[in-house]
Structure 1
């Protein structure tokens, strides 16, 4: 059995999946930060 290279598209599956999984938290942090006037909430969501 020989090694085969992964398709570049396959290498994007995990990062895109993680981004979609974290999207509600990111959107919530941005919305909360913009409504309170405190941009630290957006940074806290990213951290």
Structure 2
């Protein structure tokens, strides 16, 4: 029995179903400024663009 999800263009949370996002898109989805995400990238090595 397959439990695969059907491919959707947008998730239930309103996040588009695509493999990559621009930093501005992610910032908007998170209600943050892009510089905050850049800071997090420098502080938390597990976050990779």
For the aligned pair, the TM-score class normalised by the smaller chain equals: under 0.3
Higher relative contact order (CA 8 A, sep 6+): 1
TM value normalised by structure 2: 0.24
Higher helix proportion: 1
